[in-house]
Structure 1
Amino acid sequence: MLQFFLNMMTDIIKFIGNFYDEAEIIRGVIVWALGIFGIHQGLFVVVGFFFTRKFKPAKNFHKYAVLIPARNEEAVITNLIKSIKRQDYPSELITTFVVADNCTDNTAKIARENGAICYERFNDAERTKGYALRFLFEKIEEDYGIDSFEGYFVFDSDNLLNRDYVSKMNDAFDAGEKIITSYRNTKNFDENWVASTYAIHWLRSIRFRHRTRSFFRLATNIQGTGFLFANELVKDGWKYTSLTEDRAFTADAVAHGYGITYQDEAMFYDEQPTNLRIAMRQRIRWSKGHILAFLESGWPLFKNIFVGNCFRDKEEKRKITKASFIEGIRHRVASFDVLSQLTPTIIPKTFLWIVVGLFMYSCFAYTNGMEDIAVFTGGSWLVTGINAVLGTFSVNLEPGLAAMGVTAAIAIFWFVLGKLASDVANMLTAVYIFIVERKKIKKMKLWKKALYCVTWPVFDIFYRWSMYIALFAKVTWKPIPHTSKVTIEEIEN
């Protein structure tokens, strides 16, 4: 019986190994196709170094509502509201709303004492920030009417605004933009290395994404806080209640034909997590929301690349003018770009590596053995350097279990070596950010900058692992604690 089982397993391994060459070709084609999504990223980095969109001073002052979803934020919400009240924009045109969401502290009381209009919500079954915003818009519609305000800002309770923040955002809004994001700086950049990875990430987004996309009039992405949108986007209320409402909002808005611009001159400050466990928990939630947003909006965005705005009515599609033709091209490119951000390419790439690059390759070696298989290979700068210093090493083994096991070990080694090479090279991104954003980054000692350049790749390593976990884990929303009591005046001084 045992021999029968062993013979059957041998036949299965040989059968699988016989299809390795064909599977590797298919894998290569799929990886190449997924690579198309990143074909424009190099251009974006170069353009973002030189250019971003500039806005002329506004001719009109528009009326805005500022929305602050808050859950047990009594430690920080006062400083945000004060930074809103000290804006150089006409105060009568800014109304601040707070939704105290399932709070067990004095958030609501403190918000009211500081002049905000505060609604309290108690529904622990619906816990995401999106549900809090939906509730707040329902209350605004009931008591004021959505159209009472031309635009809506969204901030987290730990944020702080530069004095000219609203004025600069108004410049972009007055230029006709419907969705605008802004410059996200960090309150606690140098508190520890965990906070620094987030700070560098937000600045990387500015340099590698926001600046170029705004310059080309495409659609950048909303990132949770520090953004403004026109009232027409919520005429039917707020509908984005997933784990990452910002990704859902971005994808849906672009699918419906909206652009999303970036105002480089409007700066606000954000508090970043300092605890590794909390940071990983947040990253898993982001990744789960990323996957859900792709499932919800990926298909409309894909269709838009080929047929234009699939949400327009047929009559409108028939009217072709020069302006509509140009807008159609812009929207197709924007849809492709947002889809490229939204597609979790790391998941199919990793799956293909496990199935083809690891399992089927090992089965192939069981049947065919190993002949001059290089130990250090993969084409990375790290492999080139190792081979130049140590010379090349190759392995030869006869067919059988030994060849299968060694091949599996070498395949894993290649995978780790490739990731290590990209992660070490990624340190240069942090160096670049510290150089180009030196005037806006908080001053800190050189040794700290060097440390943060070394630890920065951990952020992207967390991204990879959070994606793998989020694919299978049941993820729930949990609040991120905010404790920094720094004020905007302290930052300015």
Structure 2
Amino acid sequence: METLSFINRVVSLLFIVCYFYQFLYIPIKIFSYKKQRNENVEKKNYAVLICARNEEKVIGDLIDSIHQQTYPQDKITIFVMADNCDDDTEKIAKNKGAITYRRMNKILVGKGYALDTMLKSIKKEYSDQFDGYFVFDADNILKENYIEEMNKVFVEGNDIVTSYRNSKNYDSNWISAGYGLSFLRESQFLNGARHIVNSSCAVSGTGFLVSKAIIEEQKGWPFHLLTEDIEFSIHHIIQGKKIAYCEKAMLFDEQPTKFSQSIHQRLRWSKGYLQVFGVYGKKLFTNALKGSFSCFDMFMNSMPAFILSTISIIVNVALAINAAIIGDDYMIALKSIAQFLLGMYSTLFVLGLVTTITEWKNIYASHQKKILYLFTFPVFMFTYIPISIAALFLNVSWKPIEHGTYRKEVGELMKNV
């Protein structure tokens, strides 16, 4: 059992070495001076891209929130790709004033293919009319100053800008709260801190802005791995580009509330991370060795936590089983596992606590639920371990998640933040 203790100490030390810098992000974000941006800036022309698959319950709310923006409406054009839809998504979007496209393809399935098809159609029909392209999921809602604030960061010369990802239904249950708290931490204490230290941020599925130059350079959207957002981010970070962050641009995202939905979604994310690491891992690592902190940061976010956690759990369980078989004191192994999990729980709890305190006013939930879901947040994060292990062996495909089971009126949601 001395071997087990040694292995756990080594794993803990490696965790500290790999992720200590992320703990430094916390005081950097909390105590940094907030830059005042110029209010009188050029108003760029934007296309808003929404890929939707059977999203008739929510697409109207997103388009309404875009129409309610403080940004000039004549500089916003909304495009919706009804992707393999068999409901009224396209009809509702068109009635709300969006320009719609329809795509039916059961082989090339996924948001990346839908985006690529839409961008090529826009290029053909509208040429170079737009300075930038916003990408949103159909279940999003935008705060009224979202585009105005993103524009301020964009005109500073940032070709890619990501935003503050909040949640519509944080208060639904421990699952939606787990997602919500992790996205808040990612927004503020990863992307927010990265932006301050002039490192690259990363886009997270939805709520980002890409310049015309980037789209033209890529000739559309050639990112088709299961996590096309991470692929997009890492591809450009390797090229030396920096993704900026706009803290004042807030969007609301609907999170899964069923554990079965969550498992499948996070299986896709985990498999996508493995795919991205397989394609870009070597280049990330070599660039990190050459001094690219952004590549080091993305490398740390892609793999080590998964590898270290998996190794530790497998070794601990294997040694516990072996001890039981040979009649050794397997309780020592079980105690070691418990200590490892307690250490992880405490670390995740502290990260959740800091995020909850600093983002308290932006969390749409009662005081009691904000506190309650602090304690379930580490449990939610723990479930990534078996999900990530399963992703190593399972074939995972993209499947839509039903939205609209939880709805709040746009005005009611906005007045609470």
Q: Above 0.5 in TM-score?
A: yes
Return the alpha-carbon distance in structure 2 between the equivalents of residues 25 and 430 of structure 1: 29
The residue type equivalent to 1:154 in the other structure is V
Aligned partner (choices 328, 346, 351) of residue 306 of structure 2? 346
Partner of 1:63: 45
Return the alpha-carbon distance in structure 1 between the equivalents of residues 370 and 285 of structure 2: 41
Q: Please tell me whether residue 289 in structure 1 is matched to residue 272 in structure 2.
A: yes
Task: Check conservation: 2:349, 2:377, Cα contact below 8 A.
Answer: yes
Task: Check conservation: 1:183, 1:268, Cα contact below 8 A.
Answer: yes
1:222-267 Cα shifts (integer Å, max 9, x gaps)? 1110111112222111011111111111111101111111111111
Aligned partner (choices 236, 247, 260) of residue 264 of structure 1? 247
SS in 2 for 1:457: helix
Task: Check conservation: 1:69, 1:99, Cα contact below 8 A.
Answer: yes
Show the 5 A alignment for 1:41-440: 41-51=22-32, 54=35, 55-145=37-127, 147-235=128-216, 236-307=219-290, 332-351=292-311, 354=314, 401-403=326-328, 406-407=329-330, 409-440=331-362
Task: Check conservation: 2:310, 2:385, Cα contact below 8 A.
Answer: no
Return the alpha-carbon distance in structure 2 between the equivalents of residues 35 and 298 of structure 1: 21
Return the alpha-carbon distance in structure 2 between the equivalents of residues 58 and 290 of structure 1: 40
The offset of 1:37, in angstroms, is: 2.7
Task: Check conservation: 1:51, 1:211, Cα contact below 8 A.
Answer: no
The offset of 1:450, in angstroms, is: 2.8
SS in 1 for 2:362: coil
Alignment root-mean-square deviation, CA: 2.6
Structure 1: 4+ residue segments shifted above 4 A: 23-35, 357-363
Return the alpha-carbon distance in structure 2 between the equivalents of residues 43 and 85 of structure 1: 40
Tell me the percent identity: 37
Question: What TM-score results when the alignment is normalised by the length of structure 1?
Answer: 0.77
The offset of 1:360, in angstroms, is: 7.1
Return the alpha-carbon distance in structure 1 between the equivalents of residues 412 and 320 of structure 2: 59
SS in 1 for 2:268: helix
Between Structure 1 and Structure 2, how many residues are aligned? 411
Partner of 1:373: none
Structure number with greater Rg is: 1
Return the alpha-carbon distance in structure 2 between the equivalents of residues 333 and 241 of structure 1: 26
Return the alpha-carbon distance in structure 2 between the equivalents of residues 115 and 459 of structure 1: 39
Aligned partner (choices 372, 380, 393) of residue 451 of structure 1? 372
The offset of 1:192, in angstroms, is: 2.0
The residue type equivalent to 1:238 in the other structure is W
Return the alpha-carbon distance in structure 1 between the equivalents of residues 285 and 33 of structure 2: 27
Return the alpha-carbon distance in structure 2 between the equivalents of residues 297 and 459 of structure 1: 28
Task: Check conservation: 1:58, 1:175, Cα contact below 8 A.
Answer: no
Return the alpha-carbon distance in structure 2 between the equivalents of residues 488 and 361 of structure 1: 53
Change (3 A) 1:77 1:431: same
The offset of 1:431, in angstroms, is: 3.1
Task: Check conservation: 2:5, 2:336, Cα contact below 8 A.
Answer: no
The residue type equivalent to 1:492 in the other structure is M
The residue type equivalent to 2:20 in the other structure is I
Change (3 A) 1:295 1:24: farther
The offset of 1:428, in angstroms, is: 3.5
SS in 2 for 1:104: coil
The offset of 1:85, in angstroms, is: 1.3
Change (3 A) 1:252 1:425: closer
Partner of 2:403: 482
Partner of 1:467: 388
Return the alpha-carbon distance in structure 1 between the equivalents of residues 164 and 309 of structure 2: 32
Question: What TM-score results when the alignment is normalised by the length of structure 2?
Answer: 0.91
Change (3 A) 1:353 1:84: closer
Return the alpha-carbon distance in structure 1 between the equivalents of residues 16 and 235 of structure 2: 24
Partner of 1:39: 20
Task: Check conservation: 2:309, 2:385, Cα contact below 8 A.
Answer: no
The offset of 1:441, in angstroms, is: 2.0
The offset of 1:447, in angstroms, is: 2.7
The offset of 1:422, in angstroms, is: 2.3
The offset of 1:201, in angstroms, is: 1.1
Task: Check conservation: 2:319, 2:333, Cα contact below 8 A.
Answer: no
Partner of 1:312: none
The residue type equivalent to 1:220 in the other structure is C
Return the alpha-carbon distance in structure 2 between the equivalents of residues 420 and 148 of structure 1: 55
The offset of 1:453, in angstroms, is: 1.6
The offset of 1:296, in angstroms, is: 1.3
1:164-222 Cα shifts (integer Å, max 9, x gaps)? 11010000001111111111111112122221111111111123201110101111111
Return the alpha-carbon distance in structure 1 between the equivalents of residues 369 and 187 of structure 2: 22
Return the alpha-carbon distance in structure 2 between the equivalents of residues 72 and 129 of structure 1: 13
Return the alpha-carbon distance in structure 2 between the equivalents of residues 358 and 78 of structure 1: 50
Unaligned runs of 5+ in 1: 1-16, 308-328, 367-399
